[in-house]
Amino acid sequence: MRILISNDDGIDAPGIARLAEAARHLSDDVWVVAPEKKHTAAGPSLTLAQPITMQRRAEKRFSCSGRPADCVITAMAWLFKDQPKPDLVLAGVNDGRNVAEDLAYSGTLGIAREATFWGIPAIGISRVKNPTVGPGDETWLAGLIGSLWEKRDEWAVEGHWLSINLPAALPAAIRQPRIGRDKIGRTAEVVETDGDRTVLLLPRGRGHDTTPGDENSVVDAGSVSINRLNWFGETRLGDELVVSL
């Protein structure tokens, strides 16, 4: 099994090293293509019609000057152009949970979404900040990924991917929560004003809003949250409305 791993925290982030270690429990054909620097809230954005630099860091390990989703495209269109494509794409482990509106903003989940455009099963994995990292975490995570891979026919339908949020400590029970609301980018700080010119800063962080049964409540209770997402975004209009337009 060929596995491609990327993230949005940068190639030198601890989370991607742990994910690569977990993946190597499952395969000896693990590739890492990750941004050379951190890209917070990059979503699925791409770098088009601009040069992208790929730097070989080690065998099967490359940094990319582009955004997180660019890592998937450069891997598919360049690195694996004349050889078999990956069987599975893993994104993460993100430094911080990806819940609620993060499903649209997250570069981690943007990686997974891009993988589905290439017809490849994908899993985005995030974890709360400042977790209690134990010596068996990578083995446990490998077991979870391996189990999901064996059951991929049940979730890896076209245009769908998985989003997993890990709690502070592992192992943990697994739950499928309701997608909640926990808005990021809700305030703007004035940094500088000069006549008609105003410089603003959108601070990092979230309100940690939660309601029973949503992702935050599940993760805060010490469980793993798992959701299946899709990029279609289509909710058909009623026939009566369409006819009346």
Ordered per-residue pLDDT tens for the chain, 245 residues: 999 999 999 999 999 999 999 999 999 999 999 999 999 888 899 999 999 999 999 999 999 999 999 999 999 999 999 999 999 999 999 999 999 998 899 999 999 999 999 999 999 999 999 999 999 999 999 999 999 999 999 999 999 999 999 999 999 999 999 999 988 888 899 999 999 999 999 888 788 899 999 999 999 999 999 999 998 877 777 888 788 78
pTM for this model (two decimals):
0.93
Q: Which tens digits make up the pLDDT trace of 181-225?
A: 988 888 899 999 999 999 999 888 788 899 999 999 999 999 999
The residues near 243 (Cβ < 8 Å, ≥ 6 apart) are none
* Domains detected in the chain: 2-180+211-244 (3.40.1210.10)
Q: Which tens digits make up the pLDDT trace of 4-16?
A: 999 999 999 999 9
Between β-strands 189-194 and 174-175, what pairing exists: parallel, antiparallel or unpaired? Answer: unpaired
Average pLDDT, the chain: 94
Sheet of strand 29-35: strand arrangement = 54-58, 61-64, 29-35, 2-6, 88-95, 122-127, 160-166, 224-230, 174-175
206 backbone dihedrals φ, ψ, rounded to 5°: -140, 170
44 alpha carbon, distance to own chain's centre: 10
Q: Hey, what amino acid is at 127?
A: R
Distance CA 31, CA 188 (A): 39
